[in-house]
C-alpha cells in the first residue's frame, strides 16, 4: 500500500529528489488526499486555481473594472488572527523554547497532530507548494515545501514567495528544505495547532485557514525556524522592515527597523517625504522581515525573504499610505474586508464617505452607523511587492543591501523620546531588548498598557529569548562595520492625549538625522539615555507647522519616568532568569547609576 502510493507520487512529480518524494509520499499516506497536485507557479496554474476558488466559494470576484485581478476571501469568523496560545516550539528540552514560548515535546507533538492529520485530506486535494524565501540563487535564501489542502494558501503563497518549478530545479536532489504540512481541517479552534520542530526543519499547522498560521514561509519559517537557523549559522532573522533613503545627491543609505504591531511599519516602509524634502526618496526593500548576515566587505547585509505584502487593511488610505493604496489597486487578495454594492472593497479608515450599505466581513448586510465594524480590524491584503510604486530596485538582489542603521521603535505615550542613538552595539541591543509598546485594541485587554516586546520578536523567536539576545550581542564580533542603532517613538502625547509629533511623512526628518549620524555629518548631544539631536544643528524642522513646545516635549527626557521604566523592565528580565545576558544587566545598572541610583 505505502509502496504503491510512493510509486504514484513519484510518477506524477516534476522532481526526482528522493528525500522530497519520500516525504510527500509519507505525508500523503497519513493525510490520504484524493489527489496530489504539484504547483508549478505558472500563470496558467494561477488562472485555473483562481477559477476553481471562485467556483467553490473560497474567493469572491471583485469589480474587475475597479479592482482588476482582485478577489475577496472570508475566513471562518473563529479564525481571523494568529493564535499564540496554540503556537508551539517543539524541542527535546523545554528550556530551549524558553519562558516566552509554548513548548511541546516533539514526539508528543507528532503523535497528537498525527492523529488530527490522519485521513484529514480525504476527498480533498493535496497541493505541493515548493517555495523560496529570498531571491533565487542568493546565499541568504532558504527553500521550503508546503503541503496544504487549501487553494487559498496556494494562491497567497504564490504572491508572498517565489513559488513553483524554478524552486524545485534550484533544490535539485538536496535534502535541505523546510518540511511544511498544513491542513485547514474542520477549522475547529479546539483542534488547532501550529507546531515548529526546529531540529527537523519542520512545521505542522492544523485547523486554521488564516494567514500567519498557514502561509508557512512567513512567520513560521522566516522568523521562528529562521531565528533558530540564524543562531546556528551566524546570522539574524528579524521582524524588520528594510528601506533605502536616497538624498538629492544620489547617496542611498539602507535602514532596518523593528516595530511591534500597530506602529505603522508598512506605512514607514513606504514613507513619502514632505514637500520640503525635494529630491529625497524612500524606497521599500521589505515591510516585515529582514534576514541579515555579514557580507564580504565587513558590513551587515540584509534581504527581504518575501515577495509580497500581507498587510493590515483598516486605516490604510491616501493620507496614511498612498503607496499602499496603489499597491492594492490590482492583483490583490483581500481577506475579511467589507464588500460594496458595486463589487469594490471597503474598510474602516478608507478615504471618502462611509457607504450607506455594505456586506460586512462575515457576509451579513451592514448599514452606515452600525455599532459593528464592517471590515474585521485584522483584515488583510495580499499584494505582490512589484505593485509598490516605490519598490527598491534592490529588492530582488541576491546580495541584499548594506544596513547602516537599525531602528527600534514602539508606541509609547510618555517616557521614550522621539529619537536617540545608542552609545554602542551593546547599548543598542539593550534598547532593542527593552522595547515596549502600549496596547491599542480594546479586544486584547486594557488599552495603554506597556507590553514588553524585545526586538518585536516576542511571538516569533524560535528559541529561548535570553539566548536570542545573547546571539545579538555575539554578532558584533563577526560584523567589522557595525550598523549604528537608534530608538524612535512617533507616539508621545501631551497631558490631554494629543500626539506631539506629526509622524507619517514628517518622520523623514528623523530619518535624515539618522542618516547624517551614520555618515558622521552632524554633531550630537549626549544624554543619560543616549545621543540625541542638538537644539541648534539637530532635526530639520523647516516648514513644519508644529509648536516648538510640542517638539521639546516630544524629545524630552524625564528622570522620574525613567526610574519607573527601569522597574518595569526588570520584570521582563527576571522572566529570563539566568539566561538574561550579563552585558544587558550591566547596561541596566549603568543607566540606573546615571539616573542616580
Part of the chain binding ligand TSX (CB under 6 A), chosen from 208-216, 474-482, 495-503, 533-541: 495-503
| Options 23, 210, 228, 268; binder of ligand TSX; rule CB under 6 A | 268
306 touches Mn ion (CB under 5 A) = no
507 touches ligand TSX (CB under 6 A) = yes
CA end-to-end span of the chain:
72
Give me the long-range contacts of 98-106 (CB less than 8 A, separation at least 24): 98/461, 98/463, 98/464, 98/465, 98/466, 98/467, 98/576, 98/579, 99/464, 99/465, 99/575, 99/576, 99/577, 100/458, 100/461, 100/465, 100/575, 101/461, 101/462, 101/463, 104/195, 106/197, 106/199, 106/200
Interacting partner of 288 out of ligand TSX, Mn ion, none (Cβ under 5 to 8 A depending on kind): Mn ion
Determine contact, residues 268/243, Cβ cutoff 8 Å.
yes
288 touches Mn ion (CB under 5 A) = yes
Residue 269 or 529: which CB sits closer to Mn ion? 269
**Which helix (DSSP H) or strand (DSSP E) does residue 260 occupy?**
none
Q: Which residue is nearest to ligand TSX (CB)?
A: 264
Residue 79 or 288: which CB sits closer to Mn ion? 288
Residue 378 CB, nearest distance to ligand TSX (Å)? 12
Part of the chain binding Mn ion (CB under 5 A), chosen from 58-66, 281-289, 333-341, 498-506: 281-289
Residue 116 CB, nearest distance to ligand TSX (Å)? 36
Q: What's the rounded Cα separation, in Å, for the pair 432 and 424?
A: 12
Part of the chain binding ligand TSX (CB under 6 A), chosen from 80-88, 192-200, 258-266, 293-301: 258-266
Tell me, what DSSP letter sits at residue 291?
A: E
| Options 61, 188, 504, 540; binder of ligand TSX; rule CB under 6 A | 504
Residue 384 CB, nearest distance to ligand TSX (Å)? 22
Count residues contacting ligand TSX (CB under 6 A)?
14
Q: Pattern of binders to Mn ion over 240-279, x per CB under 5 A?
A: ----------------------------------------
Residue 248 CB, nearest distance to Mn ion (Å)? 32
Spatial CB neighbours of 299, under 8 Å, sequence gap ≥ 6:
402, 403, 404, 479, 480, 481, 483
96 touches Mn ion (CB under 5 A) = no
Q: What is the dihedral of CA 365, 441, 191, 1, to 10 degrees?
A: 80
Q: Which positions are catalytic?
A: 263
Part of the chain binding ligand TSX (CB under 6 A), chosen from 44-52, 266-274, 458-466, 531-539: 266-274
Mapped to the 3 state alphabet, what secondary structure does 162-221 carry? Answer: EECHHHHHHHCCCCCCEEEEEECCCCCHHHCEEEEEHHHCEEEEECCCCHHHHCCHHHHH
103 touches ligand TSX (CB under 6 A) = no
Q: What's the rounded Cα separation, in Å, for the pair 264 and 440?
A: 12
Strands (E), 226-335: 236-238, 240-246, 252-258, 281-286, 290-294, 300-303, 308-312, 333-335
Q: Pattern of binders to ligand TSX over 315-344, x per CB under 6 A?
A: x-----------------------------
Determine contact, residues 595/562, Cβ cutoff 8 Å.
yes
Interacting partner of 460 out of Mn ion, ligand TSX, none (Cβ under 5 to 8 A depending on kind): none
- Among residue numbers 471 through 490, which ones bind ligand TSX (CB under 6 A)? 490
| Options 98, 144, 264, 384; binder of ligand TSX; rule CB under 6 A | 264
Which backbone phi and psi does 87 adopt, to 5 degrees?
-105, 125
Which residues bind to ligand TSX, rule: CB under 6 A? 262-264, 267-268, 271, 315, 490-491, 499, 502-504, 507
Which residues bind to Mn ion, rule: CB under 5 A? 288
Amino acid at each position: 500500500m505505502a509502496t504503491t502510493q510512493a510509486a504514484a507520487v513519484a510518477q506524477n512529480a516534476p522532481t526526482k529528489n528522493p528525500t522530497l518524494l519520500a516525504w510527500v509520499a509519507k505525508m500523503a499516506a497519513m493525510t490520504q488526499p484524493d489527489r496530489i497536485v504539484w504547483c508549478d507557479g505558472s500563470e496558467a496554474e494561477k488562472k485555473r486555481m483562481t477559477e476553481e476558488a471562485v467556483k467553490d466559494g473560497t474567493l469572491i470576484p471583485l469589480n474587475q473594472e475597479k479592482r482588476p485581478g482582485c478577489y475577496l476571501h472570508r475566513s471562518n469568523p473563529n479564525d481571523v488572527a494568529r493564535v499564540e496560545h496554540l503556537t508551539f516550539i517543539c524541542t527535546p528540552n523545554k528550556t530551549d523554547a524558553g519562558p516566552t514560548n509554548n513548548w511541546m515535546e516533539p514526539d508528543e507533538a507528532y503523535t497528537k497532530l498525527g492523529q488530527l492529520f490522519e485521513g484529514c485530506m480525504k476527498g480533498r486535494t493535496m497541493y505541493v507548494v515548493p517555495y523560496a524565501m529570498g531571491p533565487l540563487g542568493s546565499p541568504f535564501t532558504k527553500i521550503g515545501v508546503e503541503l496544504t489542502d487549501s487553494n487559498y494558501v496556494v494562491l497567497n503563497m504564490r504572491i508572498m514567495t517565489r513559488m513553483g518549478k524554478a524552486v524545485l530545479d534550484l533544490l535539485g536532489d538536496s535534502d535541505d528544505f523546510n518540511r511544511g504540512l498544513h491542513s485547514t481541517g474542520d477549522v475547529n479552534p479546539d483542534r488547532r495547532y501550529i507546531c515548529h520542530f526546529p531540529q527537523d526543519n519542520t512545521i505542522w499547522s492544523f485547523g486554521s485557514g488564516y494567514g500567519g498560521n498557514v502561509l508557512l514561509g512567513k512567520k513560521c519559517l522566516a522568523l521562528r525556524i529562521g531565528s533558530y537557523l540564524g543562531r546556528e549559522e551566524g546570522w539574524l532573522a528579524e521582524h524588520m522592515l528594510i528601506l533605502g533613503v536616497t538624498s538629492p545627491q544620489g547617496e542611498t543609505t539602507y535602514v532596518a527597523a523593528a516595530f511591534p504591531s500597530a506602529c505603522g511599519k508598512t506605512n514607514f516602509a513606504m514613507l513619502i517625504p514632505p514637500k520640503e524634502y525635494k529630491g529625497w526618496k524612500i524606497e521599500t526593500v521589505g515591510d516585515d522581515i529582514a534576514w541579515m548576515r555579514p557580507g564580504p566587505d565587513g558590513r551587515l547585509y540584509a534581504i527581504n525573504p518575501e515577495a509580497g505584502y500581507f498587510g493590515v487593511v483598516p486605516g490604510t488610505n491616501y493620507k496614511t499610505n498612498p503607496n499602499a493604496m496603489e499597491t492594492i489597486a490590482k492583483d490583490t487578495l483581500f481577506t475579511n474586508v467589507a464588500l460594496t454594492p458595486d463589487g469594490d472593497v471597503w474598510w474602516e479608515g478608507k478615504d471618502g464617505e462611509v457607504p450607506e450599505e455594505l456586506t460586512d466581513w462575515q457576509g451579513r448586510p451592514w448599514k452606515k452607523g452600525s455599532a459593528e465594524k464592517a471590515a474585521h480590524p485584522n483584515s488583510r491584503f495580499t499584494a505582490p511587492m512589484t505593485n509598490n510604486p516605490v519598490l527598491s530596485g534592490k529588492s530582488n538582489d541576491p546580495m541584499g543591501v548594506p544596513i547602516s542603521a537599525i531602528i527600534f521603535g514602539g508606541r509609547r505615550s510618555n517616557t521614550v523620546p522621539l529619537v536617540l542613538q545608542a552609545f554602542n552595539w551593546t547599548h543598542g541591543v539593550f534598547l532593542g531588548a527593552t522595547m515596549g509598546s502600549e496596547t491599542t485594541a480594546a479586544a486584547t485587554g486594557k488599552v495603554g498598557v506597556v507590553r514588553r516586546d524585545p526586538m518585536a520578536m516576542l511571538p516569533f523567536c524560535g528559541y529561548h529569548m535570553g539566548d536570542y539576545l545573547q546571539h545579538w550581542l555575539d554578532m558584533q564580533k563577526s560584523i567589522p562595520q557595525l550598523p549604528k542603532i537608534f530608538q524612535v517613538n512617533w507616539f508621545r502625547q501631551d497631558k490631554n492625549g494629543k500626539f506631539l509629533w506629526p509622524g507619517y511623512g514628517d518622520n523623514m526628518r528623523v530619518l535624515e538625522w539618522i542618516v547624517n549620524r551614520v555618515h558622521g555629518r552632524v554633531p550630537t548631544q549626549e544624554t543619560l539615555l543616549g545621543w540625541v539631536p542638538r537644539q541648534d544643528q539637530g532635526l530639520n524642522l523647516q516648514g513644519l507647522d508644529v509648536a516648538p513646545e510640542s517638539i521639546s516635549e516630544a524629545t524630552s527626557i524625564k528622570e522620574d519616568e525613567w526610574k519607573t521604566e527601569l522597574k518595569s523592565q526588570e520584570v521582563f528580565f527576571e522572566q529570563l532568569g539566568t539566561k538574561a545576558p550579563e552585558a544587558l544587566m550591566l547596561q541596566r545598572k549603568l543607566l540606573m547609576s546615571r539616573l542616580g541610583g
